[in-house]
Amino acid sequence: MNDFLRLWFRLVPAYAVGYFLSYTLRSVNAVIAPELMQELGITAAGLGLLTSAYFLAFGLFQLPLGMLLDRFGPRRVEVGLLMIAAAGCALFAAGQSLPVLALARALIGLGVSACLMASFKAFSQWFPAERMPSLTATIMVAGGLGALTASVPVESALPLLGWRGIFWVVAALLVLTAAFLWTVPDQTAADKPESFGQQLRTLRNIYSSRVFWRFAPQSTAIAGGFMAVQGLWAVPWLIEVNGLSRADAAGVLFLLSVAMLAGFLFIATSSLWLASRGVSPMALLTVGMGLALVAELTIILGLAPPAWLWPCLGVSFSLGNIAYSQLARAFPVAHSGRVNTALNLMSFLGAFALQWGIGTAVDALVGGGVGRPEAFKLTFGILLGVQLVCFGWFLVPVRR
């Protein structure tokens, strides 16, 4: 076994398990939404706020997370946060009121906030830059498996465990994952790490960079919008607009996740081969985001059965995570934690605002006399318009 494979097997599986659980927790409320609404007696806006508390806590912690990763290394930071996520799952499983469940959801978001970024930081420390797109896609495969688990498997487990039992199981798995992750190799900052003031100046330089602001609006509206829809509103859309049963809607969500997983596998196995033949990662990113917007339009217009259209959205969006490796190439490796978390902050703030905003907009339109299917279509149409503007801005090249 060569040195690359030996290091791959020591690092990648441990971080992949953490991201698998993170993505499962991100998406699980889409399937258990009917039970939550019935048991808690909440509106669509209340459900959006409850679920999006994950994104708010996750997003707000991204800036200090980047500083912690660059100073203390990814292993120690993620292990500590996974224990917070386990506590959040336990609180969610035991919670009896909307405020308690929202707090628990926020703790979960905080606790899994490093699962993807810590892996990116570790990979940038141990592997050459040309390996990053395939490594990024590999870790996203684990996320795709988590999304799969949060669809039909969760729906099938509900009669046996209930939604509370599912969260107890995940709490235990998070503790085991933290113990597993503690065994991986780690690198911390250099002997003379940056001072707090220097770290803040680096953040200022990142946020004042035109390269960063080429990627940021697209990540906020398109990546954030996809997370908002996949994590909550896909199943209500399929039930309200397409007239599917909850089981059939979970099946469509499962197909979307399979398509995402296929996209991640394609990038993980083919990115180096494509680059050697002139197809750059940036070209893949651009094509993927453009196709995702086309897929959204076909979903809104209902041009084909949902079981065809939603997987198209999933496979297109799978190319969007190339943005992290492409943005990080413009900055020093020592700053990669802050660069990736700065972009991730934009995605998750967008997911929080849009997940809550979609529910609020649907409730407002229904209150104004619009039918629920039409309210969903109007809301998704407005979101698509914003995304098109952000994609157009991304297409404007940066003069280096």
Distances (CA, A) of 159 to 117, 262, 340, 363: 35, 29, 39, 30
Structure tokens at 203: 């953040």
Residue 122, C-beta contacts closer than 8 angstroms, at least 6 positions apart: 11, 15, 74, 75, 184, 186, 187
Whether the predicted pLDDT of 368 surpasses 60 = yes
Q: Round to whole Å and give the CA distance between 128 and 241.
A: 47
- At residue 369, the 3 state secondary structure works out as coil
Q: What is the model's pLDDT at position 190?
A: 53
pLDDT digits (tens, 9 = 90+) for 203-224: 888 888 888 999 999 999 999 8
Lowest mean per-residue pLDDT among 189-198, 216-225, 266-275: 189-198
Return the higher-pLDDT residue of 399 and 331: 331
Rg, C-alpha atoms of the chain: 20
CA atoms within a 13 Å half-sphere pointing along the CA-CB vector of 78: 34
Q: What is the model's pLDDT at position 189?
A: 55
Domain definitions of the chain by residue range: 10-182+206-394
Whether the predicted pLDDT of 371 surpasses 70 = yes
Mean pLDDT in residue range 257-275: 80
Structure tokens at 398: 């940066």
Whether the predicted pLDDT of 66 surpasses 50 = yes
Return the higher-pLDDT residue of 84 and 194: 84
The number of residues in the chain equals 400
Residue 119, C-beta contacts closer than 8 angstroms, at least 6 positions apart: 12, 15, 16, 18, 19, 74, 139
Q: Where does the pLDDT of residue 400 fall: very low under 50, low under 70, confident under 90, or very high at 90 and above?
A: very low
Distances (CA, A) of 173 to 54, 58, 114, 265: 19, 20, 16, 25
Q: CA angle at residue 130 from 127 to 132, to 5 degrees?
A: 60
- Amino acid letter, residue 296: E
The whole model's pTM is what? 0.72
Distances (CA, A) of 74 to 10, 59, 78, 86, 346: 14, 18, 6, 18, 21
Fold of 10-182+206-394: Growth Hormone; Chain: A; (1.20.1250)
